[in-house]
A and B are shown apart, each in its own frame.
Chain A
Amino acid sequence: MLSLGSGGGRSTKPSFVSYVTPEDMKIKEKEEGLKRSKHPDLLPGEVVFCSANHVLKYTLEDASQRGVYGTLLCTNFKIAFISDETSSQETAPPFKNKLLRQNDIPLTCVDHIYGVNDEKKKLIIGCQVKSKYPSKLIIQCKDLRVFHFSLIYAKEEEAKKIFQGIVHHSLEPKSLKCVFAFSYCETASPSKASRKRSRTLMFETKEDWSVELDRTKGKCKVSSANEDYVISETLPQFFVVPFAVSDDDILRFHGKGIPFWCWSHHSGCALFKMACLPAIQEDGISQKYMHRMLDAVTQDQLYPVKVEDLSSCLPALQDLQLSYNKFKQLFLIDSTTEFWVSDMKWFSSLENSGWLEIIRQCLMKAVEIVDCLESAHTSVLIVEESCSDLCCVLSSLVQIMLDPYYRTRSGFQSLVQKEWVAGGHSFLDRCNHLYQKEKEVPAPVFLLFLECVWQLFQQHAPAFQFSETYLTVLSDSIHIPLFSTFLFNSQHHRDTAMKPGHPEAQRSPLNFPSVWDWSLQFDSKAQSLFTNPLYVEKPIQDKTLRKTAHQKHQRQLSLPNTLSKPSPRKGFFKEETDNLKKIFLGKRVGKWLNPTDSSKELYESWQRKPLDYQGLLLPYLDGPAIRVWIQRYLRWVPEAQIFGGGSIATVNRVLELAGEIQNLQKEVERRSCRMDSSIAWTPVYSGPPLCSRLSSFPFTAMHASSFRPAIPSSIRQSLGSVSSLADKEDDDSQVSGVL
């Protein structure tokens, strides 16, 4: 049933228990002596805290009490279950993570733990002294997996220890230094040389920013005012601001109220973001200051500017968290019965969670901003309290819609580095890695961004170089406590943590891996699944040109402003800008335009043209167009697996064809150089039959033989109000007429 992965199980002995029911346990206990403890493949710096043998892991597929016996361990990295069964390569998922095996749960990936005693399910909360342990443990993970472990067959003290260990290490507050990345990096010391960052810009240096400015032809400057974090610990060392912003301006409010450049439109207008000024400032001072900043953004009235205050139009972080919690619950399913019961009210449950609506709002806001930049050639300044939460979502989405570079893998990764990592998104606090409730405000902000990107992806798949699987894996990686990308609240935070200020750390600064070092997690074969085979590349001739030379092509499909809107008169926009300033300074900007009206023209002119995947990309926002990210949310739910189908079937088909073409190409080459008639040629696609894959490929594996269709268990439905019609006979002609 389970795979131990390569070399995972030292045991070469045949297993003596497989699929036993609890009743078979007595026999098993006699063989107790034969048991020996097992250890998983430990990563460098990984230490086992505690372990328990004879833990039964229920196999959820049949919802019965059947399961697999094995050892449950808790290390400083993960909770691991190692089956007593000998490993069988066949059942291993095709998509192997080098850091984690099928039944490994990183400690930071644990979402909730329930204890079950006498059929009663109780949420386990950390920091409570536990002398008793439950007979059954349900672990819900942040990547939506659900594990059921029974502890009743384990030795009492072992069971108690493992329970306490798991609760302590995954549910209780800890310090940052306890995060596994620290012990990993102290031991592993990954060689810098081998780490080729491919073409992902990290935005840690002045040069990266300059490259980005050049690429977009932005008319701003790179500022080093915060070098060595002299001004602010939340800001990166380098960032880009309008020319008119001086170092003194930046110093004045420690970086607050400064318009940071994000991206420049080819028309010259640009996207900026800004953190709110501290409220205590005297009105007069801040008003004057803000005036200057807005003038700086307009580049001496060259471009009008529109201010978007996100706090007034998008949900608060707490709402985000609440909504996601409700939404997520819909996919954490304990049993087949629960699956079919919840199926009946599926759509209203989805709606009640509000999560899809939040996604829609974000996309809609992003379209409004795109509209400003694209049709009105107006610069946009996004304002948010800290300018590091929804600000990041919006600014990145706008860039993905407008600039095809960000739809390539390296472009996308650069974007995340630019807007999120350098932009100072508080990953540590938002992901709740340390479980410090009072300090952290957990909210799935980055996930929300990935969700929005997925919506764009599912609507316009050929526009993206990366695949759905890539996005799903990225969303999983947030919860692996190893990557500097997701472990810190700011670059300063990371830099100080990496310093050898730690008493024991004697050597050079720690070198945390970035999540973009995909080879840490996946071999190259698995990584090939990150590429979207449907991607429509740029015309080939562009490849020979330099990156900066791409601009013309990239933007050729931008809408000429004459088509959609008359050229803005400067005076008019100046007025509007002043007006905006007033309202902005008067605190919050209300809703400016009816969102559907404002972008209607943009949509119309966009729809009139044939869709160019290398041009402007707009999401469809109507209810039916916003969907559930099936791969991410349903991949572990056995009842929801489509055998031989799902969106992955399309991808597989394309890959298959690509393989055939490759073979043909080789054949042509071979034949044209050796005109030998005796060559036997077999252009057969090699690999498993694609029709026997599950829709959750590559995340789960299942054999054709073991597949049974899921028949709804409760056929009876909730058609309450139709009784009068339901009682009617199908036809007016009576049946008795036949007799």
Chain B
Amino acid sequence: MEKSASSDSLGSKPSSSRQPSVDSLSSSSTSRSDRSNHTKPDPSSDSVSTSTNFSPELRVLRDANKLAQLEEPRLLPKESIQDMAKDVTYVCPFIGDIRGTLTVTNYRLFFKCMDKDPAFVLDIPLGVISRIEKIGGASSRGEVSYGLVCKDIRNLRFAHKQEGDARRSIFENLMKFAFPVSNNLGLLNESWRVTKINDHYELCDTYPAVLVVPVNIPDEELKKVAAFRAKGRIPVLSWIHPESQATVTRCSQPMVGVNGKRCKEDEKYLQAVMDANAQSHKLFIFDARPSVNAVANKTKGGGFESEDAYQNAELVFLDIHNIHVMRESLRKLKEVVYPNIEESRWLSNLESTHWLEHIKLILAGALRIADKVESGKTSVVVHCSDGWDRTAQLTSLAMLMLDSYYRTIQGFQVLIEKEWLSFGHRFQLRIGHGDKNHTDADRSPVFLQFIDCVWQMTRQFPAAFEFNEYFLITILDHLYSCLFGTFLCNSEQQRVKEELPKKTVSLWSYINSQLQEFTNPLYVNYSNHVLFPVVSMRHLELWVGYYIRWNPRMRPQEPVHQRYKELLAKRAELQKKVEELQREVTSRSASSSSERAGSPARSITPIQTFV
């Protein structure tokens, strides 16, 4: 079964309407690649059966009013309604605007207008859809418009009222179910392909089994590229911009050496990465290291891309220090905050640890990457030495800035699964699980730094993340606890070999079983909202709730959410009232309309659903 271990490890809760297969790129599953980009999801496949999770509102609607049922398609076995929107306008090129109800299931798009006689129906399997675009901004009527480009030579255009932000747009859902493969890659386009070359971890034992590479690089050439990249960590796709097609690609350093060795397959590869993005004729290579260290690596066979060999590529060093510097910095930080804080010299002591300076550099690097991708529409390649420490920090943070999906609880789990676990951040080595050798030079707080950076972002954007501080602390606590299998071992290969998914419970199942605890009540999902944090010391602060939580005097501040939660409760109560009233109205109008024989069926006032 495709879902197998990995989606268990993401703890796909039936209550969650998110696609359980989102994690499958990071999973050990090998059957992943047999699904092509736009194949219509097999309704019988486990990966799309997000159970029959009608929202209670929908169920109420169905029970309360038989008329409503007619607006839905007849469902196939295991097909389920994912989203429904009333008052959607289909802009028909032939007969003009038609208002009706749009339903999205895990299989099809269904549009029905009952004002017409006979009722106007559109019934399109999602697999037919080739592209979904938002057309223009909100119109004067407050409507947003979407265009669907279909493979069967049709273009469909819909417009619907921009609803309260508490609700995801129906088109976001459509996007999700139409392109299951692309979900955590944005939209895969024709320039990229999924390769099975690393099926048995032969190309690279620290990479996942499934990789996405440029379409015009055959597997044979991948092997040559692998030979040129440290540890065989070839450039692979991490994220693709849904509009501009600009990509984030990650890899390890090229094995240039002192003699400036070149590899034409590698050069071709990066050219292909650049060409995959028609918007820009440039490629930015971000080397996370300070340039001195990158140069020093040449003596050990490593190095960096020369701009001579890589045409149109620009190399930028991000000056982030290595794991040893970070370890030392954390050690100093501990001295400063534990057990007691020297009040009068607190700020200069904090500065002397350089901890926040490192955080700043990492965030600054990610910001530059995000800026190039978003504002410059340019594809970027990110690497450090091996591409599993600083690179993971940078790509995952840049993706958090660029893509609001990763700011959800589930999305963040996917991000860690993908950028950290599947791409081989060496958790075992960096944390030293169960190892008494505490002076091991391989230990380093790389992942902690990443979570710290995320926390800094949540501080700057208090409403942009679905998760709260407790979620981040819980992840860090279980990074060390070994209670869950999630952070054990160094690579996907090892985890598969140890059969961890079978033998251990995933941290995510624990978290997903009590989502309420980890949810930020202020969260608003502003789609397509890119976050550019301010990476100045003026806005960075020490994460007191984590580093100084043991100090009894630093009692965590009462969350300011108390009033907010009161308001939420009040809103829910009012919504219930409105719905009750609505139900009365609909039942009354249903009975009255049947009394008035011959009168056309009236359109049903929609029930607004929130949250």
Q: Which A residues have a C-beta under 8 Å from some C-beta of B?
A: 339-340, 343-348, 350-351, 356-357, 360, 459-462, 533-536, 603, 607, 611, 620-625, 627-628, 630, 634, 637, 639-647, 649-650, 652-654, 656-658, 660-661, 664-665, 667-668, 671-672, 675-685, 689-691, 695, 707-712, 715-719, 722, 725-732, 734-736, 738-739
Partner of A664 from the list B163, B367, B571, B588 (CB cut-off 8 Å) is B571
Contact yes or no, B563 A462, CB < 8 A: yes
Contact yes or no, B319 A646, CB < 8 A: no
Contact yes or no, A677 B560, CB < 8 A: no
* Distance from B273 Cβ to chain A, minimum over Cβ atoms (Å): 22
Contact yes or no, B538 A661, CB < 8 A: no
Q: Which B residues have a C-beta under 8 Å from some C-beta of A?
A: 142, 161-165, 227, 230-232, 253, 255, 290, 292-293, 296-297, 300-302, 318-319, 321-325, 328-329, 341-348, 350-351, 354, 356-357, 360-361, 364, 367-368, 370-371, 375, 384-386, 389, 441-442, 460-464, 522, 524, 526, 529, 531-539, 541-542, 544, 548, 551-555, 557-558, 560, 562-564, 567-568, 570-571, 574-575, 577-578, 581-582, 584-586, 588-589, 602, 605, 608
B544 partner residues in chain A, CB cutoff 8 A? 624-625
* Distance from A679 Cβ to chain B, minimum over Cβ atoms (Å): 7
Cα distance A607–B558 in the bound complex, in angstroms: 11
A712 partner residues in chain B, CB cutoff 8 A? 360, 364, 535-536
Contact yes or no, A647 B319, CB < 8 A: no
- A-B CB contact pairs (8 Å), 27 listed: A356-B347, A462-B558, A462-B562, A620-B554, A622-B551, A622-B554, A623-B341, A623-B342, A623-B343, A640-B538, A642-B460, A647-B462, A650-B462, A653-B463, A654-B522, A661-B570, A668-B581, A681-B608, A684-B162, A691-B464, A710-B536, A715-B361, A722-B328, A725-B321, A735-B231, A735-B255, A739-B255
Cα distance A707–B461 in the bound complex, in angstroms: 16
Contact yes or no, B536 A357, CB < 8 A: no
Partner of B375 from the list A647, A657, A672, A708 (CB cut-off 8 Å) is A708
Partner of B325 from the list A534, A642, A725 (CB cut-off 8 Å) is A725
B534 partner residues in chain A, CB cutoff 8 A? 639-642, 709-710
Contact yes or no, A668 B574, CB < 8 A: yes
A628 partner residues in chain B, CB cutoff 8 A? 538
> Which 10 A-B pairs have CB atoms at the shortest separation, nearest pair first?
A623-B346, A709-B532, A346-B537, A664-B574, A351-B347, A347-B351, A645-B461, A725-B324, A347-B347, A677-B589
Partner of B605 from the list A351, A679, A709 (CB cut-off 8 Å) is A679
Known: A620-B557, A675-B581, A677-B589. 5 other contacts (CB 8 A): A639-B536, A641-B534, A650-B462, A677-B602, A738-B232
* Distance from B83 Cβ to chain A, minimum over Cβ atoms (Å): 19
Contact yes or no, A644 B343, CB < 8 A: no
Cα distance A181–B558 in the bound complex, in angstroms: 44
A676 partner residues in chain B, CB cutoff 8 A? 585
* Distance from B52 Cβ to chain A, minimum over Cβ atoms (Å): 28
Contact yes or no, A711 B571, CB < 8 A: no
* Distance from B360 Cβ to chain A, minimum over Cβ atoms (Å): 8
* Distance from B224 Cβ to chain A, minimum over Cβ atoms (Å): 13
Cα distance A637–B534 in the bound complex, in angstroms: 12
B524 partner residues in chain A, CB cutoff 8 A? 653, 656, 690-691
B297 partner residues in chain A, CB cutoff 8 A? 729, 735
Cα distance A462–B538 in the bound complex, in angstroms: 24
Cα distance A610–B577 in the bound complex, in angstroms: 33
B558 partner residues in chain A, CB cutoff 8 A? 460, 462, 611
B351 partner residues in chain A, CB cutoff 8 A? 345-348
B255 partner residues in chain A, CB cutoff 8 A? 735, 738-739
Contact yes or no, B522 A715, CB < 8 A: no
Nearest CB to that of A664 among chain B residues? B574
Contact yes or no, B571 A661, CB < 8 A: yes
Contact yes or no, B463 A731, CB < 8 A: no
A536-B539 contact, Cβ under 8 Å, with A641-B534, A675-B585, A675-B588: no
* Distance from A694 Cβ to chain B, minimum over Cβ atoms (Å): 11
Interface centre among A611, A623, A672 (most CB of B within 10 A): A623
A660 partner residues in chain B, CB cutoff 8 A? 164, 571
Contact yes or no, A671 B582, CB < 8 A: yes
Nearest CB to that of B300 among chain A residues? A735
Partner of B302 from the list A351, A658, A735 (CB cut-off 8 Å) is A735
B300 partner residues in chain A, CB cutoff 8 A? 729, 734-736
A536 partner residues in chain B, CB cutoff 8 A? 562-563
Nearest CB to that of B323 among chain A residues? A730
B568 partner residues in chain A, CB cutoff 8 A? 657
Contact yes or no, A726 B293, CB < 8 A: yes
B548 partner residues in chain A, CB cutoff 8 A? 622, 624
* Distance from A463 Cβ to chain B, minimum over Cβ atoms (Å): 10
Contact yes or no, B296 A727, CB < 8 A: yes
Cα distance A738–B385 in the bound complex, in angstroms: 13
Contact yes or no, B462 A645, CB < 8 A: yes
A718 partner residues in chain B, CB cutoff 8 A? 357
Cα distance A710–B364 in the bound complex, in angstroms: 9
Contact yes or no, B531 A644, CB < 8 A: yes
B368 partner residues in chain A, CB cutoff 8 A? 711
A657-B562 contact, Cβ under 8 Å, with A645-B462, A649-B462, A726-B321: no
Contact yes or no, A728 B563, CB < 8 A: no
Cα distance A356–B584 in the bound complex, in angstroms: 61
Cα distance A80–B319 in the bound complex, in angstroms: 45
A691 partner residues in chain B, CB cutoff 8 A? 463-464, 524, 526, 529
* Distance from A341 Cβ to chain B, minimum over Cβ atoms (Å): 11
Contact yes or no, A730 B164, CB < 8 A: no
Cα distance A107–B322 in the bound complex, in angstroms: 53
Cα distance A718–B535 in the bound complex, in angstroms: 16
A343 partner residues in chain B, CB cutoff 8 A? 536-538
* Distance from B320 Cβ to chain A, minimum over Cβ atoms (Å): 9
Interface centre among B163, B529, B563 (most CB of A within 10 A): B563
* Distance from A623 Cβ to chain B, minimum over Cβ atoms (Å): 3
Contact yes or no, B567 A624, CB < 8 A: no
Cα distance A347–B370 in the bound complex, in angstroms: 27
* Distance from A231 Cβ to chain B, minimum over Cβ atoms (Å): 43
Contact yes or no, B578 A715, CB < 8 A: no
Nearest CB to that of B587 among chain A residues? A677
A719 partner residues in chain B, CB cutoff 8 A? 321, 325, 354, 357
B531 partner residues in chain A, CB cutoff 8 A? 644-645
A644 partner residues in chain B, CB cutoff 8 A? 461, 464, 526, 529, 531
Partner of A462 from the list B463, B560, B584, B602 (CB cut-off 8 Å) is B560
A735-B301 contact, Cβ under 8 Å, with A622-B553, A657-B568, A725-B322: yes
* Distance from A719 Cβ to chain B, minimum over Cβ atoms (Å): 6
A682 partner residues in chain B, CB cutoff 8 A? 142, 161
B161 partner residues in chain A, CB cutoff 8 A? 682, 684
Contact yes or no, B325 A726, CB < 8 A: yes
Nearest CB to that of A612 among chain B residues? B558
* Distance from B246 Cβ to chain A, minimum over Cβ atoms (Å): 16
* Distance from B353 Cβ to chain A, minimum over Cβ atoms (Å): 10
Contact yes or no, B461 A642, CB < 8 A: yes
Contact yes or no, B385 A654, CB < 8 A: no
Contact yes or no, B605 A680, CB < 8 A: yes
Cα distance A111–B431 in the bound complex, in angstroms: 53
Cα distance A642–B462 in the bound complex, in angstroms: 11
Contact yes or no, B542 A624, CB < 8 A: yes
Partner of A738 from the list B230, B356, B364, B582 (CB cut-off 8 Å) is B230
* Distance from B165 Cβ to chain A, minimum over Cβ atoms (Å): 8
Cα distance A533–B561 in the bound complex, in angstroms: 11
Cα distance A348–B353 in the bound complex, in angstroms: 12
Contact yes or no, A711 B367, CB < 8 A: yes
A357 partner residues in chain B, CB cutoff 8 A? 344
Cα distance A627–B533 in the bound complex, in angstroms: 19
A717-B164 contact, Cβ under 8 Å, with A348-B348, A661-B567, A675-B588: no
Contact yes or no, A717 B319, CB < 8 A: yes
Cα distance A717–B290 in the bound complex, in angstroms: 10
Partner of B537 from the list A347, A654, A681 (CB cut-off 8 Å) is A347
B570 partner residues in chain A, CB cutoff 8 A? 661
B230 partner residues in chain A, CB cutoff 8 A? 735, 738
